[in-house]
Amino acid sequence: MWSGDGDIPLYLRVGHGNEVDYAMFGTLMADFHKQWQIDALSVADATLYTEDNLQMIVSFKWVSRVPAILTAAT
C-alpha cells in the first residue's frame, strides 16, 4: 500500500506465489489499519469485493469496483 500524494510506500507484505488475492485483501487492510491507525480511504480493485473481505473492513473507508460478474453490477 502506498500514499496517494506521492506514491510513498506505507505497507508491504510479500505473499506466497500460491495465495489468491481476494483471500488476502481484507486481512491486509486490517493489518495496515492496526499498524497505522489513521483515517484513510483505501482504494482497491474488484478483487476486494467478497463477502468475507467486506465483513473484515466494515469500519474502514474504502472504494472498489464491483466485479462485473455480480448480477447487481449489471
Residue 35 gets the label, from left (phi > 0), alpha (psi -120 to 50) or beta, of alpha
pTM score of the predicted model: 0.68
Position 49 in a domain:
yes
Position 3 in a domain:
no
Where in the sequence is the domain holding 47, given as residue range(s)?
A: 21-73
Position 37 in a domain:
yes
Distance CA 49, CA 30 (A): 15
Position 15 in a domain:
no
For 60, other C-beta atoms within 10 Å of its C-beta total 15
Position 5 in a domain:
no
Position 14 in a domain:
no
Position 35 in a domain:
yes
Position 58 in a domain:
yes
In tens, the pLDDT along 24-55 reads: 888 888 888 888 888 888 888 888 888 898 89
Report the pLDDT value the prediction gives residue 44, as an integer from 0 to 100: 86
**Which of the four pLDDT bands, split at 50, 70 and 90, describes residue 19?**
confident
